[in-house]
Structure 1
Amino acid sequence: MTPDRLDRFARHIVLPELGGAGQARLVDTHLVLVGVGGIGNPALQYLAGAGIGRLTLIDDDVVEASNLQRQTLFAPADIGRAKVVTAAEWAARFDPALHIVAHQTRIDGGNAATLLAGADVVLDGSDNFATRLAVADACVALGVPLTSAALGRFQGQVANFAGHLPDQSCYRCFVGDAFDAEDCDTCADQGVLGAMVGMVGAFAAMHAIRVLLAGVATLGDPQWGRLHVLDGLAPSLRTMRIAKDPACGACGA
């Protein structure tokens, strides 16, 4: 890294758990972010801040006034603009050295493999089960780790999955086959606290970084198949293990 880049990431490099080798690894990685809404906004800010060299952003939505309460990358002037374009512009201004690719499209079973190919990790912050399962199934097929993050009202869920590994569960092992349809609760129906979105998005960014640094830095193990449930009201954090389903349609035998 050049002297200006060393200075930019100095607070990372001095961490014994990360160091120069860990920072060099982040610079050389490719992360795909599915959804640049509530979870994607704070996640993108910290992923870009971490210096992840290549970021692919996927979203088909546009900015609405109701988004501004929690999606802090956007301003009133962005209402009506594509979220993914606005987010990519922010990332380019924030760090011109990053390689940003934006896809203004809806990811599904037909295009997921193409859009996710070449990723070192996928962070999914989408808002419906059909998209989540399409992404998760593609990750298993491609052999790409998945960081899954979701939230509603005052609860968030974050987990890393590696269903392509023989002894690890995937996202479909967690939710099963009953949620391939798009009819699920949304923030518009249930409501969500803006600060809770930031909490879950930042947690998801940390979890994705944990995957990228596995085997290079001592930031901790990826915690495959452990679902972390954040309760913003209590507040509290509890963890449960998602067992591999032998009959899973994505990763089972």
Structure 2
Amino acid sequence: MPLTPDQLDRHARHIVLPEIGGVGVARLARAHVLLVGMGGIGCPALQYLAGAGIGTLTLIDDDTVDLSNLQRQTLFTPADIGQPKATVAARRVQAFDPALAVTAISERIVPANAAALLAGADVIIDGTDNFATRLLVSDTATALRIPLVSAALGRFQGQVGTFRGWLPDQPCYRCFVGDAFDAEDCDTCAEQGVLGAMVGMVGSFAAMEAVRAITGFGDDPAGKLHLIDGLKPMWRTLKITKDAGCRACGASATPA
């Protein structure tokens, strides 16, 4: 489908990039990106995905806006306190670009609904703040063969990685963290604190990796974890090895 005059004007700065061009903008317009978690990571990620013209966006979060969120979750205002985050974020996106199809789901992802909620996406961005949900999203994305951009942070540190664990030579997120973190008893930013600007950096980077997965620009980052240290500041990249014994993507994993 050819780009409309409005799309040509709105996305002109992407079209002139030879690594993206009109073909890439058209791919973005046809793509469906699903965001799990509309908190600190989800807010900036959503803003840049909408700016990139992702045609279909699904936002999943069962939380409501709290005053303490405003330090880093820049889509929300004091007038939104008490309202569902997914609903408020969807309303902001629709105001930004009415041409985008946006669905808000104010539900918690659990094993019983994970496959149904995540199915049909071209890319999933996980910005949740507990390992149990992150591992569930990763396992489900692997089973459904959907690329996962996993982003997390705490205090002054952030991490972003792209995973395609169903491929024989690629790890999944569980290969990285193992099985020890399936319980929901890990620290969150409420206990540890988090620098607001770090949240924006990590969320924007996650959006860029989702755009990369759709358009194919640059090198393929799958299986690598990018670590950002805001204190030093410093950036380094780790290569994650596939775990042959991983219960989600290893040799004994059960096919979807």
- Band of TM-score, shorter chain: over 0.9
Within a 5 Å distance, the mapping from 1:15-164 to structure 2 comes to 15-164=17-166
Aligned counterpart, 2:240: 242
* 1:109/1:135 contact within 8 Å kept: no
Identity of aligned residues (%): 69
Structure 2: distance between partners of 1:188 and 1:169? 30
Structure 2: distance between partners of 1:20 and 1:106? 37
Structure 1's unaligned 5+ residue stretches are: none
Aligned counterpart, 1:179: 181
The one-character-per-residue Cα deviations of 1:28-84 (angstroms, maximum 9, x if unpaired) are 100000000000000000000000000000000000000000001000010000000
Aligned counterpart, 2:170: 168
- Please give the secondary structure, in 2, of the residue aligned with 1:33: strand
> How far is the alpha carbon of 1:122 from its aligned partner?
0.3
The one-character-per-residue Cα deviations of 1:3-37 (angstroms, maximum 9, x if unpaired) are 11110000100011110001000001000000000
Structure 2's unaligned 5+ residue stretches are: 252-256
- Please give the secondary structure, in 1, of the residue aligned with 2:153: strand
Structure 2: distance between partners of 1:179 and 1:240? 20
Aligned counterpart, 1:6: 8
- Please give the secondary structure, in 2, of the residue aligned with 1:118: coil
- Letter paired with 2:75: L
Aligned counterpart, 1:230: 228
Aligned counterpart, 1:220: 218
* 1:33/1:40 contact within 8 Å kept: yes
- Letter paired with 2:66: E
Structure 2: distance between partners of 1:108 and 1:228? 27
- Please give the secondary structure, in 2, of the residue aligned with 1:45: helix
Aligned counterpart, 2:254: none
Structure 2: distance between partners of 1:182 and 1:72? 26
> How far is the alpha carbon of 1:222 from its aligned partner?
2.8
Structure 1: distance between partners of 2:181 and 2:150? 15
TM-score by length of 2: 0.96
Structure 2: distance between partners of 1:126 and 1:119? 17
> How far is the alpha carbon of 1:182 from its aligned partner?
0.6
- Please give the secondary structure, in 1, of the residue aligned with 2:62: coil
The one-character-per-residue Cα deviations of 1:221-240 (angstroms, maximum 9, x if unpaired) are 33111000000111111000
* 1:30/1:52 contact within 8 Å kept: yes
Structure 2: distance between partners of 1:236 and 1:109? 37
* 1:108/1:135 contact within 8 Å kept: no
TM-score by length of 1: 0.97
